[in-house]
Amino acid sequence: MKLFVSGRKVVFSTLKEKIQSSDKVIWFHAASLGEYEQGLPVMEKIKDKYPSHKILVTFFSPSGYEVRKNTKDADVVVYLPLDTKANAKKFMDLAHPELVFFIKYEFWPNYLNEVKKRNIEAYLISGLFREKQIFFKWYGGFYRKALKAFNHLFVQYESSKKLLQNIGFNNITVSGDTRYDRVSEILERDNTLPFIEEFINGKTTIVFGSSWPKGEALFTDFINKSEDVKFIIAPHTIGESHINDLQNAITKKTVLFTEMEDKNLAEYDVFIVNTIGILGKIYSYADAAYVGGGFGTAGLHNILEPAAFGVPIIIGPNHQKFPEAVALVQMGGCISVNNKQEMEETLSLLAYDEVYRTEKGHIAGTFVSMNRGAVDTIMKKIAY
């Protein structure tokens, strides 16, 4: 909350400093880090198409802003001031964008009405609509009016298109989710981590990514009694006390990322990643992966990154709000487990049954590649 409040105090002064009246500006708005990642493939294409324009990125949440405030993908990164008429007018006067993109389900009526008033071209990308949203209620007229600011709405699913059509919108394309394009790009980069190769030493490897204590309590016993398998754990929380708790729960020989210097990594069974920023590359070494967040209420973490590498995935039961997880579970590339027994049975299958593991991994990789193409669909329809 402190970051949320203090960060907004400097928005207008930052815009005055970094955007001149003569600048041409393209504005992307994301709620948080996940939405930013969805918008990034389009942002990169737009940057290539309009290299002389400045890219302005706004965030609603500190979890997005604090991670990406120094990104090289944008020229200016700020919080979006709270949605009032006065703030919207002042923001638009200072930023004066020529093109606007809102991502997924960020809809701020005063800003959108100001965009419409100024006849600025605007697009929604990777839109997601649900029947319970205010747009579809009898009292949602103010919000329905705001949607008219968009020249075109690119939505993820046919269900979203139908909901919008029911309230009179027809400028809609079902483009899919741009995240599939985003994660597919990681296959083309250099994912080499020599220290991980040294640690794995040719053995079957299971990666536990973005794990929380509730999930960790279900898989540490399996690690302790397993044979001839390597494990990499990248916890969501990397504070010292939590890392100590994790180490104490594991009886196998364990090494930390921050303590690996001058060690023969091949001698260790468990590698704990007490740093951030390398999990995506680590997934490229996984034979199977567990992705955390599905046993609590914080939300499931990104399953598409391991899936893009053709890695079979285990998740917890609380994933119904994540369409990609629901779809991949139905297809069989992702396995949802409810308790310790199911966790251990599934880990055992993935660790020791190569045919089972290969089949599930193939489904996961195919799922991501089949859903690519949203960015090209969007770029073909942008009239600007």
If residue 254 lies in a helix (H) or strand (E), which one and from where to where?
Answer: strand 254-256
The whole-number pLDDT of residue 276 equals: 87
Provide long-range contacts, Cβ within 8 A and 24+ apart, for 174-177. Answer: 175/125, 175/126, 175/373, 175/374, 175/377, 175/378, 176/371, 176/373, 176/374, 176/377, 177/38, 177/126, 177/324, 177/371, 177/374
Cα angle, residue 226 at apex, residues 224 and 228 outer, rounded to 5°: 125
The whole-number pLDDT of residue 5 equals: 59
Percentage of the chain beyond pLDDT 90 is 83
CA 115, CA 63: separation in Å to the nearest integer? Answer: 26
- Among residues 333, 293, 328, 292, the alpha carbon closest in space to that of 310 is found at 333
Residue with tokens 């207008």: 12
Buried b or exposed e, range 29-42, using 16+ CB within 10 angstroms: bbbbbbbbbbbbbb
Intervals of the chain under pLDDT 50: none
- Residue 202 Cα distances to 29, 117, 151, 228, 280, angstroms: 44, 61, 53, 11, 20
The whole-number pLDDT of residue 7 equals: 59
The whole-number pLDDT of residue 240 equals: 93
* All residues at 6 or more sequence positions from 110 whose CB lies less than 8 Å from its CB, including other chains: 83, 84, 85, 87, 88
Whether residue 294 contacts residue 318, with contact meaning beta carbons closer than 8 Å, is answered with yes
Q: Residue 335, exposed/middle/buried by CB under 10 A (0-12, 13-18, 19+)?
A: buried
3-state secondary structure of 300: coil
The whole-number pLDDT of residue 6 equals: 61
- Among residues 143, 198, 188, the alpha carbon closest in space to that of 169 is found at 143
CA 172, CA 191: separation in Å to the nearest integer? Answer: 37
Whether residue 326 contacts residue 179, with contact meaning beta carbons closer than 8 Å, is answered with no
pLDDT tens-digit readout, 205-227:
999 999 999 999 999 999 999 99
The whole-number pLDDT of residue 272 equals: 98
Structure tokens, 37? 């990642």
The whole-number pLDDT of residue 62 equals: 81
**Cβ-based neighbour number of residue 48 at 10 Å:** 9
